[in-house]
Amino acid sequence: MRAQAKAEAALARALADEGIAPQSAADAIAAAAERVGAAAVYAEEARIGHDVRALVNVIRTEIPPDARRFVHLGATSMDVVDTANAWRYREAVEKVVIPRLGLLASRLIALAEGEAETTQAGRTHGQHAVPITFGFAIAEYRALERRYLAHLGLVPASHSTQIVEPEAWSDLAHACVTALGVMANLADDMRHLQRTEIAEIAEGFGAQQVGSSTMPQKRNPVSFENVKSMWKAFMPRVITTYLDQISEHQRDLTNSASQRFSGELIAATAYAATRLGSSIDGVHIDRERMKANVGLSKGGIIAEALYILLAKHGHADAHEAVRRLTVEAERGGRSALELASLDPELKPLLAKLTPAERKVLDQPDEYRGLAPEVAREVAQTWRAKLAGVLPE
Amino acid sequence: MRAQAKAEAALARALADEGIAPQSAADAIAAAAERVGAAAVYAEEARIGHDVRALVNVIRTEIPPDARRFVHLGATSMDVVDTANAWRYREAVEKVVIPRLGLLASRLIALAEGEAETTQAGRTHGQHAVPITFGFAIAEYRALERRYLAHLGLVPASHSTQIVEPEAWSDLAHACVTALGVMANLADDMRHLQRTEIAEIAEGFGAQQVGSSTMPQKRNPVSFENVKSMWKAFMPRVITTYLDQISEHQRDLTNSASQRFSGELIAATAYAATRLGSSIDGVHIDRERMKANVGLSKGGIIAEALYILLAKHGHADAHEAVRRLTVEAERGGRSALELASLDPELKPLLAKLTPAERKVLDQPDEYRGLAPEVAREVAQTWRAKLAGVLPE
Amino acid sequence: MRAQAKAEAALARALADEGIAPQSAADAIAAAAERVGAAAVYAEEARIGHDVRALVNVIRTEIPPDARRFVHLGATSMDVVDTANAWRYREAVEKVVIPRLGLLASRLIALAEGEAETTQAGRTHGQHAVPITFGFAIAEYRALERRYLAHLGLVPASHSTQIVEPEAWSDLAHACVTALGVMANLADDMRHLQRTEIAEIAEGFGAQQVGSSTMPQKRNPVSFENVKSMWKAFMPRVITTYLDQISEHQRDLTNSASQRFSGELIAATAYAATRLGSSIDGVHIDRERMKANVGLSKGGIIAEALYILLAKHGHADAHEAVRRLTVEAERGGRSALELASLDPELKPLLAKLTPAERKVLDQPDEYRGLAPEVAREVAQTWRAKLAGVLPE
Amino acid sequence: MRAQAKAEAALARALADEGIAPQSAADAIAAAAERVGAAAVYAEEARIGHDVRALVNVIRTEIPPDARRFVHLGATSMDVVDTANAWRYREAVEKVVIPRLGLLASRLIALAEGEAETTQAGRTHGQHAVPITFGFAIAEYRALERRYLAHLGLVPASHSTQIVEPEAWSDLAHACVTALGVMANLADDMRHLQRTEIAEIAEGFGAQQVGSSTMPQKRNPVSFENVKSMWKAFMPRVITTYLDQISEHQRDLTNSASQRFSGELIAATAYAATRLGSSIDGVHIDRERMKANVGLSKGGIIAEALYILLAKHGHADAHEAVRRLTVEAERGGRSALELASLDPELKPLLAKLTPAERKVLDQPDEYRGLAPEVAREVAQTWRAKLAGVLPE
């Protein structure tokens, strides 16, 4: 209602600029719009059953009689409602969503950098793949930063075009929902890293905090669960924005109720960013456990390295050879590497390895490629992009 | 919170029934649960960061020390939350949704009966098809009543099994959303019948009500638009219930936030039923216009009757013959029936028509088959089904 | 098209039964409908641009001239299309979906029974909770069987009412999607049990099967991933059935394309059931690992038992006492139980435990309550329900 | 599979560029990739149960033994699958979707320009509002062109970044779905303009085309209905792209099935554009009926003009005065303008009108503001933007 009154004031000033209304009338309307009270407008709406006309009527009672005819002159309700909504959403995105996503991004940047060297098992399909570092894993959520910048890009656009067409609102909803999706994905991974069997991180807990009402030992990842849950609650609402694209002829009003819930999606995005940010901040990282977990697969984690090195030194079908070794290793007690050393075909190839290549096989937690460098590089790139944008 | 306290009281009584807790402890817990205040629980939750344990702690402070250990004994938080939610949703469905849907259904029944004889153009694809009656058209929304009875069936089921499994909640959400869909469909049709060119009904308007802030003549179908809009806002939320089916192992809590919005869907269904019911109540029906509209297609509306009668009296390809007539009628000034009378092949067949058959062609608004009877029959059937169920 | 021809035959027989058409005409139509070829109908459709009329025309060319006028007499296209679809969907559900879901259910029953005694860590929020058995965990997916019976219930209903109203189709879609959801949930849990750190089960692998194109050691849970993925692909399609509820006046045809994809959802449900069933069949269960994992939390898993026993023997705030013990245990090297034995307040209460109670604390993998009995009971109940229903 | 083979070839060339593989090996791999047959790959996949490795194995059999170890060296399956998909989708968007949307856009431009002067009733809420022109109405769907340009913008982006991250694919899906939404909205309006009571346009019909199998007179708007229906079938699929954002740790494969349907959304967008374009092309416009419909509301359509002119010439509450007039006009036989002429308060204000102002009230079909100019301007702007982009 405050935003709609602003729109009426802007209209009055435009009528004065065009020479249609006298300046004094525009001033009176703008002043009245500034002080109009919600209670009075709702009372008038209850009487006449029309929200925007109710606002117009209340402004009219506050100004000199000869200025009254210029209030809302030539405008439709939707001109006022759409302008007000565009202004509200832009304010919310600029002043709430972007700073909070920015804060979350800056925390992730710090984490990526701080843990750039912390070796962790890379996991595809829930199975250990090749070693990475925890900082590298965090740097992979950079899509979040892309969404963040997408929001930034959205703001100047909305300045000029106004979010009045349903497609523009749908684009904003899509941006919010994909940002929520990136956050849900990050939260999911943090949840899994807290599994009893993995236990590489732990959600921060207050000294008095209770984890379960029946199991006193529990430290449930409630904040990360909550972020995932917010995504589940709000993601489907994009469908509503698609439904609101269908409006008959010059307009129907079947978006009258659905549009009232639009602000909730923006609020949910901001809320999730804040909650995830503070959870990330409080997370406890168990670097020893990360290292120990890398060793769990008994050398299986270096199978890729072994196959690439065998191929490099001349084996024609190294992938198949190593696949057979790992099947055999799984059945018996020896590691794939031991089996390779005993294999008449592979033994001579292993002898060709350089010391650096050999070290990769003997110390799998060092087989993490460029992970530390990538983590740092991504962190630096995004810190630079955020600089100047993020509020102090 | 009130519902969760009830669940704790029920648990205490069950522990007493099993001989685990003394009866006096159960009585003390039940009495405390009755008077527990939300403010105290929220304060405790702020301290310990766990909602159900906060409730337990507050109940404990209100009872003798030796009864305290029996509060919540052996239960998980979700035992309490799920039981409380099942109770809340059942109450809301039984006491709010069903009576309101019932009231809407009874209004539709009265309308179907009252307008059983009012001839109206049947419309498929937005085109005039064969005449029906307005009462018949209303009787077609009986799917609404089926949803209504489905709700009734749902209630006894929930008594025994509790809505604790996500599939049960998903079923309830699906029932709400399809009920909203039937209402949206009805609302859409009512909107279209108010189009300036059709104008067969008009939404009731208060004497002071303003239809448009800029076009003083407008009488927009705002209530019917609102019902459609509620459907657009809430229909996609079924997706959230499907997402909440996925819960890891014995349970995760990624439904912690999403489940908090569940009640809104039930409330939306009740709201839409009420608003639609009162709109239907206030609708103005223009029976003259309905009759006039039947005549609009200049005899085209009896093309089906003409083809069936020609087939009955021996024409081997009556559909094609009449199709050609209507194409010709559209180009020139004569009606399809006039053209048929001049056609050497069709003329002798037309001569075979009985007087009753001939009347169908001459008075198309009487060609409405069993529409009045069906309208009355459906109305009577459903009135009987609702009797005894609907609150007085 | 085959199904639509059947519908035309049924209509002809009904016209004969009513005395409108001669029996010979009905026989001719039914015979022609039996042998009508798709190619001829498509050729006619290309000529006249109407699918059902094309079928009618082709049947007409196959029968004596005086029978032609009775083909499709008085029916609309949608009468034929809807009847044909109802018949097709019922066939698909009865003959494909139900048997496959039944087979999956019977495999789960066998697994629940076979593993009724296999102790496994119960997991809530990904954290170890109280011990259960693997058979009990499997028995918890019984919601699948409920969906299965729901399907059975659906079939007799569809015999009488026909799946012609959009709500009936939407109900079937909802039943399929929730069945897919139960399967996706089961598949997700099976995936997580295959995590390198958990490793309690393994997806069956062919001797020649390759798990990863680059990491030769990988045994990815591709079948379980595929079932989850099918749910992601098909679950959102319920939205389409809600959209198809909205049809203007007596009908529009904005479901012309959307309805063509309906069968895919039924097929996807049957496919997922088959794939999940054979994956469950081939799964390798590592019972030793399950037992070992129970011991992972160093006694934390018996915190609930400890608190309930302390409460039973008189401690007024046993939950809080045990919560503090587990926090302390986590910091130092001693288990919560050891700490309890040293605590002056708790020591005397521990001395009151019966031998059976003490055993629970000392052998946590025996603290699994009624899990084996529940697993067997659920298995027997469902086996009885499936008997006679499942094809031999 | 063709696209994946291209990706393997590109990888081999990159290995040669880096000096890891000899140039001759890269050439051999690229040549084999060019001629690899689908049947051989599927046969190998059936044997080893892995699609990408099957392709690798087939390529290996086609090249000299010493080149084999360089096929797929160091790449994961998803490196190949993602690269192949990015290439396929970019090709489909560039070569199919964009040209077809462009053709549709150019048809709308021509229509907007050709009908820039054709007066039509503006309709909000299905009610006549102020007159516009048909060309202006068409120009309002320009959001379609924005989507079109958005697609264009998407292409260069995808060149550099590859559509590998789920967010990029989700953005493309969102762009397709909003384009489908604009088309569905246009199709819906075209359907309504064909209603028997409105009849301002008619879908083109072949001379032999049958509109209804039972009502020979029908000319159903089947193509426009089909476009709406495609939107209903494909719009919900955006949800799948959001679900595919959630992928555990470095990757899981729960998008294995869901991603296979991605291409269908692109195809559906192209199909809808083509079908809508040819329907627009064949539409018959009844300009006389458009003009006649403007007169239907008996002067109500100039209520806005009347209120603005009265306000301009000094009436303090012109909106309320005209609202009362239209209520009175609706009850009696006189138009709002006649009643105004008889009103002692309004009569002197009407006398102040300039001849041009008076003409607006007397000839409502001329009260259409800048509609013709806007229609032409929009058409010219978009024609310029499309020039050089659209294929000849």
pLDDT in tens, C303-320: 888 988 999 898 988 888
What is the pLDDT, as a whole number, of residue B107? 92
pLDDT mean by block of 10 residues, chain D; 392 residues = 92 93 96 94 92 94 94 86 86 88 90 95 87 91 64 43 69 91 95 94 74 69 94 98 94 90 94 94 92 80 86 88 84 83 93 90 82 91 77 52
Interface of C with D in 81-100 (CB under 8 A): none
Q: Which are the contacts of B95, defined by CB distance < 8 A and separation ≥ 6?
A: none
Among C217, C225, C306, whose Cβ lies nearest the Cβ of A326? Answer: C217
| Separation of alpha carbons D146 and C292, rounded Å | 60
Q: Check if A314 contacts D (Cβ < 8 Å).
A: yes
What letters, b where the CB count within 10 A reaches 16 and e where it falls short, cover A314-342?
Answer: ebebbbbbbbebbeebeeeebbbbebbee
Nearest chain C residue to B122 by CA distance is: C250
What is residue A120's three-state secondary structure? strand
Interface of C with D in 261-280 (CB under 8 A): 261
| Distance (Å) from the alpha carbon of C300 to chain A's nearest alpha carbon | 6
Percent of the residues in chain A that have a pLDDT greater than 70, as a whole number:
89
pLDDT per position as a tens digit, C24-76 = 999 999 999 999 999 999 999 999 888 899 999 999 999 999 999 999 988 88
Q: Check if A357 contacts D (Cβ < 8 Å).
A: no
| Distance (Å) from the alpha carbon of D310 to chain B's nearest alpha carbon | 13
- Which two three-digit tokens encode residue A65? 């009689």
Q: Check if D247 contacts C (Cβ < 8 Å).
A: no
Check pLDDT > 50 for residue C158.
Answer: no
pLDDT per position as a tens digit, A67-77 = 999 999 888 88
DSSP D62-114: TS-GGGGGGTTTT--HHHHHHHHHHHHHHHHIIIIIHHHHHHHHHHHHHHHHH
Q: Which of D258, D265, D274, D278 to mutate to test the interface with C (most CBs of C within 10 A)?
A: D258
Percent of the residues in chain A that have a pLDDT greater than 90, as a whole number:
52
- Kindly give the interhelix angle for A77-92 and A2-17, rounded to the nearest 10 degrees: 120
Higher-pLDDT residue of A230, C361: A230
| Distance (Å) from the alpha carbon of D108 to chain C's nearest alpha carbon | 22
Contact criterion met (CB < 8 Å) for D69 and A314: yes
Segment C342-371 shows an average pLDDT of: 89
What is the pLDDT, as a whole number, of residue B163? 44
| Distance (Å) from the alpha carbon of D57 to chain B's nearest alpha carbon | 38
Radius of gyration, alpha carbons of chain B = 30
Q: C144 and C233 in contact (C-beta within 8 Å)?
A: no
pLDDT per position as a tens digit, B285-339 = 999 999 999 888 766 778 888 988 999 898 988 888 988 888 888 777 788 888 9
pLDDT per position as a tens digit, A98-150 = 889 888 989 999 999 999 999 999 898 888 888 899 999 998 886 766 666 55
User: From the CB of residue A10, how many other CB atoms can be counted at a distance below 10 Å?
Assistant: 18
- Which two three-digit tokens encode residue D284? 């018959």
Q: Check if B128 contacts D (Cβ < 8 Å).
A: yes
Q: Check if D140 contacts B (Cβ < 8 Å).
A: no
Beta bridge partners of C251: B124
Segment A243-262 shows an average pLDDT of: 92
Segment B15-32 shows an average pLDDT of: 95
Higher-pLDDT residue of C191, A204: C191
Of A183-187, A319-323, C331-335, which has the strongest mean pLDDT?
A183-187
- Give the mean pLDDT of chain B: 87
Higher-pLDDT residue of C184, B161: C184
Name every chain C residue with its beta carbon within 8 A of the beta carbon of D228: 254
Q: Which are the contacts of D358, defined by CB distance < 8 A and separation ≥ 6?
A: none
**H helix intervals, chain A:** 2-17, 23-35, 38-48, 51-61, 77-92, 98-114, 134-139, 143-161, 166-193, 222-234, 238-243, 262-282, 287-294, 303-312, 318-331, 336-342, 347-351, 355-362, 371-386
| Distance (Å) from the alpha carbon of C221 to chain D's nearest alpha carbon | 9
pLDDT per position as a tens digit, A290-339 = 999 988 876 677 788 898 899 989 898 888 898 888 888 877 778 888 89
Among B56, B215, B236, whose Cβ lies nearest the Cβ of A240? Answer: B236
pLDDT per position as a tens digit, B39-66 = 999 999 999 888 899 999 999 999 999 9
Radius of gyration, alpha carbons of chain C = 30
What is residue C124's three-state secondary structure? strand
Name every chain D residue with its beta carbon within 8 A of the beta carbon of B339: none
Check pLDDT > 80 for residue B19.
Answer: yes
Segment B91-101 shows an average pLDDT of: 87
What is the pLDDT, as a whole number, of residue D144? 62
Confidence of residue A378 (pLDDT cuts 50, 70, 90): confident
- Strand pairing class (D284-285; D201-202): antiparallel
Segment C241-258 shows an average pLDDT of: 92
Q: D227 and D184 in contact (C-beta within 8 Å)?
A: yes
Name the DSSP letter for residue C314: T
Segment A351-367 shows an average pLDDT of: 87
* Element of type H or E holding C202: strand C201-202
From the number of C-beta atoms within 10 Å of its C-beta (0-12, 13-18, 19+), residue A207 rates as exposed
What pTM does this model have?
A: 0.91
Name every chain C residue with its beta carbon within 8 A of the beta carbon of B188: 246, 248
- Give the mean pLDDT of chain C: 87
From the number of C-beta atoms within 10 Å of its C-beta (0-12, 13-18, 19+), residue D355 rates as exposed
Check pLDDT > 50 for residue A56.
Answer: yes
| Separation of alpha carbons D71 and D359, rounded Å | 80
Q: Check if A247 contacts D (Cβ < 8 Å).
A: yes
ipTM: 0.88
Segment C188-209 shows an average pLDDT of: 86
Segment A31-56 shows an average pLDDT of: 93
Contact criterion met (CB < 8 Å) for B125 and D319: no
| Separation of alpha carbons D55 and D2, rounded Å | 10
